Amino acid sequence: MSLYKKCHRWFHQFASPKYFYDISHIISKYAIVVCIICFIAGLYGGLILAPADYQQGDSFRIMYVHVPAAWMALFVYVVMAVAGGIGLIWHIKLAEIVARNSAPIGASFTFLALVSGAIWGKPMWGAYWVWDARLTSFLILFFLYLGYIALQSAFEDRRVAARAGAILALVGIVNIPIIHYSVEWWSTLHQGSIISQIDKPTVHMSMLIPLIFMVLAFKTFYVTSLLIRVRTEILEYESNTSWVKQLLRDYKNVTN
């Protein structure tokens, strides 16, 4: 069997609701453990071990929430757009489910990034909000998430809603590089990247390492939350199939 056929077979096997349900249950168990460990390590290192910044004092510590939330807002949107595109082109139901359930999580990350940025901006810039390129494009990202979620509720047919949402997500993907490069393309108050400069980081390693832990914590939190939401919708979609009925019977036997 050629490599292409093996990959094609694996792809369709992974897209099977039953197979995905089984493997996601295993992945989520490990992901939540990693999430908890990284959260504890990141918060302890960032709030207790890391020294105060020589310019910002203790105000800089909000970056341990703001930066991971902002990165995840971008990452989740890309996942949502790619999954939506896969569902739109190949009509894979699981991809549509992934895209649909990523949207509320991504919107939450975006909202958290906007609020935490505003809290930090008041003592640093003297204002909760300024209409610079980075903040404005990030606000547009939040509206894109809300628009996608609204589209999912606007249609009774989930497949139609998924296709409409996929088109919006793919069109909105152009905003991702704008957000990323806005600090380089335009004059902005927002500072540049931190972790992308690993060889020459702009912060001390005692501050950077807890931030990396928090990024991993946010990422594994997204994975865990997404898998739980997807498994719930799979059970709803596949409620009349034999494997779900057998799963429910096994669950009742265990609980009784």
pLDDT score at 158? 92
pLDDT score at 196? 54
Q: Which residues of the chain have pLDDT under 70?
A: 1-13, 187, 189-202, 256
Q: How far apart are CA 200 and CA 193, in angstroms?
A: 11
User: What φ, ψ does residue 53 adopt, rounded to 5°?
Assistant: -70, 145
pLDDT score at 210? 96
pLDDT score at 248? 82
Q: Domain residues for 230?
A: 63-188+209-237
pLDDT score at 12? 66
Q: Which two tokens stand for residue 168?
A: 């919006």
pTM for this predicted structure = 0.91
3-state secondary structure of 174: coil
The answer to whether position 43 is within a domain reads: no
The answer to whether position 140 is within a domain reads: yes
pLDDT digits (tens, 9 = 90+) for 61-117: 999 999 999 999 999 999 999 999 999 999 999 999 999 999 999 999 999 999 999
Number of domains in the chain: 1
**What DSSP string describes 183-241?**
HHHS--SS---STT-SSS-SS-HHHHHHHHHHHHHHHHHHHHHHHHHHHHHHHHHTTTS
The answer to whether position 184 is within a domain reads: yes
The answer to whether position 253 is within a domain reads: no
Q: How far apart are CA 100 and CA 88, in angstroms?
A: 13
Beta bridge partners of 53: 57
Q: DSSP letter at 57?
A: B
The answer to whether position 110 is within a domain reads: yes
The answer to whether position 19 is within a domain reads: no
pLDDT digits (tens, 9 = 90+) for 166-178: 999 999 999 999 9
Helices marked H in the chain? 3-14, 17-44, 63-90, 93-125, 133-154, 158-172, 175-185, 205-237, 242-255
3-state secondary structure of 155: coil
Q: Which two tokens stand for residue 2?
A: 């050629």
Q: Are 194 and 67 in contact (CB under 8 A)?
A: yes
pLDDT score at 156? 92
The answer to whether position 198 is within a domain reads: no
The answer to whether position 32 is within a domain reads: no
